[in-house]
Structure 1
Amino acid sequence: MHVVVVTIGSAGDLFPFLWMGRTLRARGHRVDFLAPVQHEPWVRQAGLDFHGLPADPAVLDHPDLWHPTRGLAVVWKATRPAMIEVPTFVDALDPDEPRILLVHPLALPEAQLCRDTQPLMKIAAAYLAPSNLPTVHDPLLLGPWRVPPWVPHPVRRLLWRGLAAALIDPVALPDVNAARAAAGQPPVKNLIRYLSHIPDLSITLFPEWFAPTQPDWPRPLLRCGFPLYDPAPDAAPSPALEAFLASGERPVVFTPGTGNRQARRYFEDAASAARELGLRAVFLTPYREQLPEVLPAGTLWQDYVPLRSLLPQAAALVHHGGIGTTAEALRAGTPQLVVPLAHDQFDNAARVEALGVGMSLHARRLNAARLTQALRELLGREAPARRASEVAARLAAPPDATALCLRLEFLLSA
C-alpha cells in the first residue's frame, strides 16, 4: 500500500503523523511524508521518506498568531504556500496506482483536488484534537466562549454558522475557491460543511474517554488513542537537569509550547509565581531570549526535554493546552494548569477540568497574582493528583496500531 502523509504546523502537529507513518512503514507499506522543511531531521530520524514543504518561520512572530479569534487566519495563510505544493507532488505519481492520502484537516481542500485527478485515491483525515471536529453537542466552545448546556441545538447551529460566516469563511474560501476555479471545479460556500464531506475515513487521535463520539461527527470514523510519539525515547537528560532534579523537591514545569516565541510576559509571571510560592521550577522553551535575564533561585531553563521523561518527576505542569502536551501530562499522571491562548487549547482545557486532573486560567487574564493563586490552589489540593494518577492508568498501553493499519488497508481495498 502506498500512503502519502501530509501535515503542517509545529512539533505537536508533526509527532502524531510520525507515529502513524512509522506504524504503516513497520507493516511493510510505502510511506511518503510531506511536512514543513524544518521538520526534516525528525522525519529522517523516524526512517521515513521526507519531502519538504515551504514554511516561513516569521509567522511565529505574527502578533495575531496566538489571538483567540484572529489566530486561525494567521495559521491558514501561513499554510497555503505549503498546501499548494501537495497537488503538484501527487500529480507526479502514477495515477493508476491505488494510494491513500493521510492528511491534516487543513490539507483537505488540496486532497480533494488530488482525488479529482486520481479517482483510485482514498482520503483519510486525522484529527489531533476534539475541537477539530465541529459539533453542536457538549462541551461546546466557540473559540474561548463556552455555550451553556441549556442552549438548544437549533440555536447552537445558528451560533456555529454565525461564527463560520464571520471568522472562517471570509479567510479560507477565497483561497479554496481560487484553487477550485483553476481546476475547473465549482465554488463552495461553507468551509466546515465542505471539509466534513471530503474524507473517505476520519480518524480521531484521542480516546473515547477524553472526548466521546458525537452524533454529528463525520462517518465512517475510526477512534484511536493518543499517539504519544517520542523522537528520542532513550535520550538521557542533560547533566544540568539530572543534577537539578536530584537536588530537591519536585519542580513545577512551565512551557507555552515549542512554537511560541511570544511568551515573555508568560515567563515573567511564572518567575514571579515561583518566587512568591518558593517553588522549584523548570522553564521549557527553545527561545532563551524570552525569559527574564535573571531567573529565580531554584529555577532551571531547558531548551527541550522530552515530557515523557520529565513529567513523572514534576509536581505540576503549567502549559498552553496543546493536545500533545495535554496528553503527555495525562500519561504521566501530572496535575495540570492550562493557560489557553488560541486554536484547540480552550477545548482541551475544558476537558482537563472535566476529568478533574487540573485547572485552567485564560491567558488573556493571566498575571502574576492570578497565576500564583491558581498554583497555590492546584498544589494545595489532593484531588487533582489522585485523579491524574487514575487517568494515567488508562494510558498505560499504547493505542492499537494494528487497528489503524487494518482500517486503512480495508479502505483502499474496498
Structure 2
Amino acid sequence: MHALLVPVGSAGDVHPFMGLGAALATRGHAVSVIVNDSFEPLVRRMGFKFVRCGTAEEFDSVTRNPDIWHPRKGVEIIARKIVETTPELYRLICDHLQNRESVVVAGALAFGARVAHETHGVPLVTIQLQPVCFRSQFESPVLHPWLKGINSWPRPVKRALFKLANLAIDRVVGPGINEFRYSLGLPPASQFYDVWWNSPDLVVGFFPEWFAS
C-alpha cells in the first residue's frame, strides 16, 4: 500500500502524522507526505517521500500574523488560506496517486483531499487530532468562554447554535471551494466544518483517551 499523508497546520498538526507514517513504514507500506516545505527536513529525516505544498514564507505569513489568535479573525485567516491552497493540494494528490495502491490519510482541513476522493474515488481517511472537532448535542465542546454553560442548554438550542456556526463558516469557505468544485463538474457542498470535512470512508480520532475526558 502507498499511504499519502496530508497534514495541514503547524508542528503540532504535522508530528502526529510522522508517528503514523513511521508505524505504516514498519509494516512495509510506502509513505509520502504532502506538506509545506517548512517541514521538509523532518519528512526526509523520517525517511518518507516529501512533496512540497507551499513555501516556508507562506507558512510564516500565517503563523506570524498576530490576528491568528483572535477568536473570529483567526478562523477567517485559516479558512481563507485553506480555500487558497485547495486547488494546488488537489493537483498534488492527484499527481501522486499510485494506481489502486494509494490511500490518502489527511487532516480535516485538507479540503483538496476530500475533493480528490470525490473525483478519483481514492480511499480517504480523515484524521481528527482534537476531540473538540466532534460535535455533540449531549457533551458539547466548549469553544469559547461564553459557552461554558452550553451543556446545561436544551438540545434544540445547541442545534440552532451549530446551524449558525455552519452558516458563518460556509459564508467564508463556500464561495471559493464551490467555485473550484464547479470547475471539476462537482455539485456545491456545504457544512464544511461539520459534515463535509470528514471522509465518508473513515474518520479516526487520533488522540489519547485522556484528551477526550
TM-score by length of 2: 0.88
RMSD: 2.0
Equivalent residues, number: 209
Aligned to 2:119: 117
Aligned to 1:77: 80
Aligned to 2:101: 98
Kindly provide the amino acid, as one letter, of the partner of residue 30 in structure 1.
A
Shift of 1:138: 2.2
**Residues 1:76 and 1:89: Cα distance change in structure 2 (over 3 Å):** same
* Identical residues among aligned pairs (%): 30
Task: Work out whether residues 54 and 81 of structure 1, in 8 Å CA contact, stay in contact via their aligned partners in 2.
Answer: no
Instruction: State the SS of the aligned residue for 1:13.
Output: helix
Counterpart mapping for 1:303-318 below 5 A: none
Larger-Rg structure: 1
Q: Distance in 1 between matches of 2:75 and 2:147?
A: 18
Aligned to 1:169: 170
Kindly provide the amino acid, as one letter, of the partner of residue 157 in structure 2.
V
Instruction: State the SS of the aligned residue for 1:187.
Output: coil
Shift of 1:23: 1.0
Task: Work out whether residues 32 and 49 of structure 1, in 8 Å CA contact, stay in contact via their aligned partners in 2.
Answer: yes
Task: Work out whether residues 113 and 183 of structure 1, in 8 Å CA contact, stay in contact via their aligned partners in 2.
Answer: no
Shift of 1:117: 3.1
Shift of 1:62: 2.3
Alignment of 1:27 onto 2:30: no
Q: Distance in 2 between matches of 1:137 and 1:116?
A: 31
Shift of 1:26: 1.4
Task: Work out whether residues 43 and 49 of structure 1, in 8 Å CA contact, stay in contact via their aligned partners in 2.
Answer: yes
Kindly provide the amino acid, as one letter, of the partner of residue 37 in structure 1.
D
TM-score by length of 1: 0.47
Task: Work out whether residues 124 and 202 of structure 1, in 8 Å CA contact, stay in contact via their aligned partners in 2.
Answer: yes
Q: Distance in 2 between matches of 1:94 and 1:33?
A: 12
Instruction: State the SS of the aligned residue for 2:204.
Output: strand
Kindly provide the amino acid, as one letter, of the partner of residue 72 in structure 2.
T
Instruction: State the SS of the aligned residue for 1:170.
Output: helix
Q: Distance in 2 between matches of 1:60 and 1:198?
A: 27
**Residues 1:82 and 1:44: Cα distance change in structure 2 (over 3 Å):** farther
Shift of 1:193: 4.0
Counterpart mapping for 1:15-414 below 5 A: 15-55=15-55, 56=58, 57-93=60-96, 96-107=99-110, 109-119=111-121, 121-148=122-149, 149-166=151-168, 168-195=169-196, 198-211=199-212
Shift of 1:139: 4.5
Shift of 1:136: 2.3
Higher helix share: 2
Q: Distance in 1 between matches of 2:141 and 2:148?
A: 6
**Residues 1:44 and 1:197: Cα distance change in structure 2 (over 3 Å):** closer
Aligned to 1:8: 8
In structure 2, stretches of 5+ residues that fail to align are: none
Shift of 1:87: 2.0
Q: Distance in 2 between matches of 1:86 and 1:132?
A: 22
Shift of 1:145: 2.9
In structure 1, stretches of 5+ residues that fail to align are: 213-414
Task: Work out whether residues 69 and 143 of structure 1, in 8 Å CA contact, stay in contact via their aligned partners in 2.
Answer: no
